Amino acid sequence: MQFRRYLSFLFIFCWIPFVHGQTPEIILVGDSISGNCMPLATKAWLLEDANHIFNPAQVFQPTEQMLENMHPLETEISNLGFTTSTYWVWLRMRNEQPTAKSYYLETGRPITNVANLHLWANSPSSAGKFESQFNGDELPFDQRPVKNKHTVFDLTLQPGITYDILLELRSDGEVINLPVNLWEKESFNTFSSKENYYFGVYYGVLLFVIIIYFFFYIALKERVFLIYVVYVATIGFLNLSLDGLSYQILWPNSTWWASHSVLFFASTSILFVTFYVKEFLYLKERLPTFNKIFNGLIALCVLCTGFSLTNGITYELAYPVVNALGLASIFLVLWTLWVAHRKKFQVSIFFTAAFVVLMLCAIVFLLGNFNIIYNSLLVQNALKIGSKAEVILLSLSMAARYNEIQREKELAQSKTLESLEELNKLKDEQNVILEQQVETRTAEIESQKVELEHINKDITDSIRYAKRIQEAILPSDAYLQDLLPQHFVLYLPKDIVSGDFYWANELNGTAYVAAVDCTGHGVPGAFMSIVGQEGLNQAINEYKLSSPASILDHLNQAVSLTLRQNEKETSVRDGMDIALCSYNKETHVLEFAGANNPLYLIRNGEMQVTKGDKQPIGAYVDDVPNTFTSHRFELQAGDTFYIFSDGFPDQFGGPKGKKYLYKRLRETLVDIHQQPMAEQRDFLLKIFSDWKGDLEQVDDICIIGLTV
């Protein structure tokens, strides 16, 4: 049985040369590796799997067609271009030492999506099985076989055994670079430490620039400094992503973002450098045509930034497009600088030098990405070298910009001081003239002040006298007490005289009471209140009208006739809102009619709201006005009802300066309706005073409460 397995193994690995005619050269690993690192790429064979149809077992046992499509790699760092294909790299290796040896095998870029190693030992004991290690940024960082920013595998070779090594590489559209290096472990760790030191210096410079120029932005509030800070930050994040450091340190478990961050920061770095150049060179004012071109480039960058957060064909196409945009943006900046110099615009020499250096390094980097030039280690780091030089030179230009701003401020301050001196001189001259004019005008003003005080006193005295007349027209406390024993009236004019008034009368044993809100307040409202009083008294005393609705109909006509509102040429459209009740003490029947204003009736602790008709008294144009509606209630012992104007609920106040509102008034009345009438009035007065606080009273207030 063991003999048959051995023959089967020999058939598989001896069959390949006869099919294709040749196999990868066996790499002999000795006691030590020359230079502690052995490049293996030129001894490897490559198979492209554009449709992702092969698996390791198939590639380890290739068909004749597969072998025909394989070809040896020709350079130590091959560039496979922008691709989504799977690539299989085949190596053969044998340990010539008497003991097992352990190495690190490095391959691919840090940003390669899939980088797996499959190892097949050509010995009968392997029984045709292979071992696999998985790597790449589609795998959480802590699952990598070697915890390093590079794509590294731990490789142990047993003595005297030939190993077939199969590397499986795949990208999502980004360039695949293909170094294949065998490292002594200690040497690789030393190299990685030195590399981290250089990275620390590079990123330290970027961080220093970000901090310094952010403080410049805080101090000067110049937008160009903030844009520059954001641009340097995007350059830093782009290189962190390209170096694999962002995936190792910042987002080790975010495989999706690790894959998309390179394209995102590449797009945003081009976006913000375009913004920065626009702002620094004042393109909108100096070169409007170039400003429009830059705006178009910005739009493309925004589009590519959006594509960088997608998947599928848009994401794959974004890779070459962003690289092309990066190259185009640099040429556009240099062209703009050339035109600016020709037009004699002042441009910092450091600014120009920064983009010349960046252009040269970016051209090298991008040509390497497009596989036009040999993709060496220097080419891969060209962008880092160029960006570092660019940041240093741009920082010098920004420092010069800072000095320029300071000089402009000093010059402006100097001119301001000169202007102030001239103004002070003119001020002194004018002061003499003004003092003379002031003395003359002061005498005139004093004379006018005395005259106005006399006029104001006469007017105020007249209004106060009008107040006495208005108060005399209102029902007296004794009359109300005799007519309606259980009642209160809260009456608070906004001004000396009021547009609100209350009215009471009696006809055939029935008491009538009303709360009226005339248009306006002060003197105009007081005049309207006299018209209202006269109309209500006329309805009871002369026309003996008993229904509240008929009384309001009469009042409506009386106001319109008095103000001649039926004549089209009149401009007086004033009127009043009213809540009118009649109460028969023997039958305990209450009738209510209202013009806009409601009646609140509380029975057994629950409030019933009866709305008035949606029309005012007066202020109509039609020849025939609408009639009002009466509402009839049979009152019970303990019933309490309220009529009022809108002054109380419309008052602003409280902690937020808002209206008191009808809802809050209803809740307040329900809370206090069982208290004696006098206490209810005092409570409402206190509530109003506390709510208004230091704010001005906005309207006249009239509330009447009655209980059975």
Q: Give 327-392 as a DSSP string.
A: HHHHHHHHHHHHHHHHTT----HHHHHHHHHHHHHHHHHHHHHTTSS---HHHHTHHHHHHHHHHH
Q: Which residue has the tokens 């293909």?
A: 178
CA 701 vs CA 287, 331, 477, 704: distances in Å: 68, 77, 18, 10
Say yes or no: 179 and 236 in one domain. no
Residues 179 and 218 in one domain: no
- Check: CB of residue 588 under 8 Å from CB of residue 564: no
> Which one of 410, 432, 457 terminates a domain?
410
* Per-residue model confidence (pLDDT) at position 642: 96
Is 283 among the domain residues? yes
- Each residue's pLDDT tens digit, 643-679: 999 999 999 999 988 999 999 999 999 999 999 999 9
Shared domain check, 341 and 365: yes
Residues facing 93 on adjacent strands = 27, 163
Domain finish residue from 410, 433, 460: 410
What does the alpha-carbon distance between residue 670 and residue 685 come to, in Å, rounded to a whole number? 16
In a domain, 95, yes or no: yes
- Among 183, 213, 229, residue at a domain's last position: 183
How many other C-beta atoms lie within 10 A of the C-beta of residue 359? 18
> How many whole angstroms separate alpha carbon 660 and alpha carbon 669?
13
**Same domain assignment for residues 168 and 200:** no
Instruction: Let me know whether 68 and 212 are in one domain.
Output: no
Q: Taking 80 as the threshold, does the pLDDT of residue 284 lie above it? A: yes
Determine contact, residues 616/596, Cβ cutoff 8 Å: yes
pLDDT tens across 3-44, in order? 344 334 333 444 344 334 456 788 888 755 655 788 888 888
Under DSSP, is residue 16 helix (H, G, I), strand (E, B) or coil? helix
Reported residue count of the chain is: 708
Nearest CA-CA partner of 31 in 156, 207, 184: 184
Of 107, 79, 105, 37, the closest CA to residue 379 belongs to 79
- pLDDT tens, 187-246? 888 888 888 888 888 888 888 878 877 887 887 788 888 887 898 898 888 888 888 888
Would the pLDDT of 706 be above 70? yes
Residue 698 lies in a domain: yes
Q: Which domain holds residue 114?
A: 2-183
Whether 448 is in a domain gets the answer: no
Q: Is the pLDDT of residue 571 over 60?
A: no
Reported as a single tens digit per residue, the pLDDT across 518-544 is 877 667 777 788 888 888 998 999 999
Choice among 72-81, 333-342, 501-510 with the minimum mean pLDDT: 72-81
Q: What is the predicted pLDDT for the residue at 607?
A: 94
Give the pLDDT band (50/70/90) at residue 312. Answer: confident
In this structure, of 204-213, 254-263, 298-307, the range with the lowest mean pLDDT score is 204-213
Query: What pLDDT, on the 0 to 100 scale, is given for residue 15?
Result: 39
Per-residue pLDDT, 20: 40
Rounded to 10°, the helix 185-220/223-242 angle is 170
CATH number for position 590: 3.60.40.10
Give dist(CA 640, CA 602) in Å, integer.
5
Q: What is the pLDDT of residues 601-643, one digit of tens each?
A: 999 999 999 999 999 988 654 556 688 999 999 999 889 999 9
Examine residue 427 and state whether it is found in any structural domain, yes or no. no
φ/ψ of residue 494, rounded to 5: -70, -40
Same domain? For 155 and 218 the reply is: no
Total domains, the chain = 3
* Claim to verify: residue 178 and residue 222 sit in the same structural domain: no
Angle at CA of residue 155, ends 170 and 121, nearest 5°: 90
CATH number at residue 21: 2.60.40.2380
Task: Looking at the structure, tell me whether residues 62 and 92 fall in a common domain.
Answer: yes
Percentage of the chain with pLDDT > 70? 85
Q: State pTM to two decimals.
A: 0.54
Contact 118, 56 (CB under 8 A): yes
158-173 confidence digits (pLDDT tens)? 888 888 899 999 988 8
Beta bridge partners of 642: 600, 705
pLDDT for res 567: 64
Any domain includes 385:
yes
**pLDDT greater than 70 at residue 576:** yes
Contact at 8 Å (CB) between 159 and 108? no
Residue 493 reports pLDDT greater than 60: yes
Kindly state whether residues 149 and 211 are assigned to the same domain.
no
Residue type present at position 436 = Q
Q: Would you say residue 465 lies in a domain?
A: no
Secondary structure (DSSP) of 658-706: EE--HHHHHHHHHHHTTS-HHHHHHHHHHHHHHHHTTSPP-S-EEEEEE
Sorting pLDDT into bands at 50, 70 and 90, what band is 401?
Answer: low
> Has residue 443 been placed in a domain?
no
Banded pLDDT at 552 (limits 50, 70, 90): very high
Give, in degrees to the nearest 5, the angle at Cα 684 between 662 and 643: 55
Question: Do 178 and 200 lie in a common domain?
Answer: no
Residues 491 and 382 in one domain: no
Contact at 8 Å (CB) between 551 and 504?
Answer: no
Rounded CA gap, 275 and 295, in Å?
A: 9
Please report the pLDDT score of residue 7 as a whole number.
38
* Residues 269 and 321 both lie in one domain: yes
